[in-house]
Amino acid sequence: MKTHYNTIIIGAGPAGLTAGIYLARAKSSTLILDSGVAGGQMILTHEIANYPGIESISGYQLSSNMRNQAKKFGCDIMSGIEIVSIDFESTLKSLTLSNGKSFSADTIILSTGGRSRTLGVPGESNFKGRGISYCATCDGDFFQDKEIAVVGGGNTALEEAVSLTKYASKITLIHQFDHFQAFKHAEEEVKSNDKIDIQLNSKIVAFNGNEKLESVIVENLLTHEQYELRLDGVFIFIGYEANTDFLRGKCIALNERNEIITNEKLETNIPGVFAAGDALQKRFRQITTAVSDGTIAALYALEYINQQKQKTVTA
């Protein structure tokens, strides 16, 4: 494996893989690094039915397709890595991994995505993986004919609640507001499903159990009354946080939610450093928006590389 590349992409979700496909196809040497496995949050999605040109596909399969396509065009991909130091402010960007390997690049694309947001209430950390899950695809079949709850009111929460009805005998959908923040068709699907009981203006304030989750305490936010709901599992879909911990206190500008700030070219405040995908400061986060970001970041990265080459020739 080389130690210098035209572009190093940090994050192998749909944004990073798309950027890699465009760069490598343009014969620009590209390294994609990821702390997990290629696919990002996409790999956890049971079914993707709104990706243009594909009627239905699993997140795992779409991730695999994108990864194979990037590799076919010539991307080097490293998974399970940890970045311990970075220097993005120099003309030649560089980073070092926990295994001691160091790489340099002319440009960087940050496509680190996000992670599931937690409720942060008593008992949640105790029952992660023992009744509490953040991934329906991973854990849904463990709750065959069981009673569970789903927390959240966005598209993901509603779509996964419907998906989980294939397994669970009953689902209580708990949302803190008096309305959903989801597309109309997702809301209609939930309301028409006999297995789903909707509890609005409500929140979970505690998780209880011994070896595994046995019940939750739910509070009605209008009356402040609390009641115990006995169940076998809880799936939490309340969004996620940007994976930018390694950038905090560094040179890259972040907003108050630690999302990466960019301009319309997806340039960060550091020349030669671009960003794409769900770690950005933006409103909509879908696979298609991540793919769009990856395309734009790659094309502007190529433009930047060519400009730098021209400056060198002129000098």
| pLDDT tens by residue, 261-306 | 999 999 999 999 999 999 999 988 889 999 999 999 999 999 999 9
| pLDDT at 172 exceeding the cut of 70 | yes
d(CA 32, CA 276): 13
Residue 308 in tokens: 């730098």
Residue 136 near residue 112, CB atoms below 8 Å: no
Residue 158 near residue 182, CB atoms below 8 Å: yes
Q: DSSP labels for 115-165? A: EEPP---TTTTTTBTTTEES-HHHHGGGGTT-EEEEE--BHHHHHHHHHHT
- pLDDT value at residue 24: 97
Residue 28 in tokens: 């620009």
Q: Choose among 166, 137, 131: nearest CA to 149.
A: 131
d(CA 268, CA 273): 6
Please give the mean pLDDT across all residues of the chain: 94
What is the rounded average pLDDT of the residues 214-231? 97
Residue 275 in tokens: 């960003």
d(CA 172, CA 149): 5
- pLDDT value at residue 49: 79
Q: DSSP labels for 157-200? A: HHHHHHHHTTT-SEEEEE-SSSS-BS-HHHHHHHHT-TTEEEE-
Residue 18 near residue 66, CB atoms below 8 Å: yes
**What does pTM read for this prediction?**
0.77
What is the rounded average pLDDT of the residues 52-75? 94
Type of residue at 288? T
The catalytic residues are 135, 138-139
Q: Indicate the pLDDT class of residue 132, thresholds 50, 70 and 90.
A: very high
Length of the chain: 315
Count CB neighbours of 184 within 10 A.
8
d(CA 297, CA 103): 20
| pLDDT at 59 exceeding the cut of 90 | no
- Angle subtended at Cα 287 by Cα 281 and Cα 288, rounded to the nearest 5 degrees: 90
- pLDDT value at residue 135: 83
Residues 98-128: tens digit of each pLDDT: 999 999 999 999 999 988 889 999 999 999 9
- pLDDT value at residue 209: 97
With 0-12 / 13-18 / 19 or more C-beta atoms within 10 angstroms meaning exposed / middle / buried, residue 118 is: middle
What is the rounded average pLDDT of the residues 57-67? 93
- pLDDT value at residue 25: 97
| pLDDT at 315 exceeding the cut of 70 | no
Is the sign of the CA dihedral 61, 64, 69, 72 positive or negative? Answer: negative
| pLDDT at 169 exceeding the cut of 90 | yes
| pLDDT at 222 exceeding the cut of 90 | yes
Residue-range domains of the chain with CATH: 4-115+240-314 (3.50.50.60), 132-236 (3.50.50.60)
d(CA 20, CA 38): 12
d(CA 286, CA 102): 32
- pLDDT value at residue 138: 73
With 0-12 / 13-18 / 19 or more C-beta atoms within 10 angstroms meaning exposed / middle / buried, residue 238 is: middle
- Look at 137 and 2; give whichever has higher pLDDT: 2
Q: What is the largest CA-CA distance in the chain?
A: 73
Q: Indicate the pLDDT class of residue 153, thresholds 50, 70 and 90.
A: very high
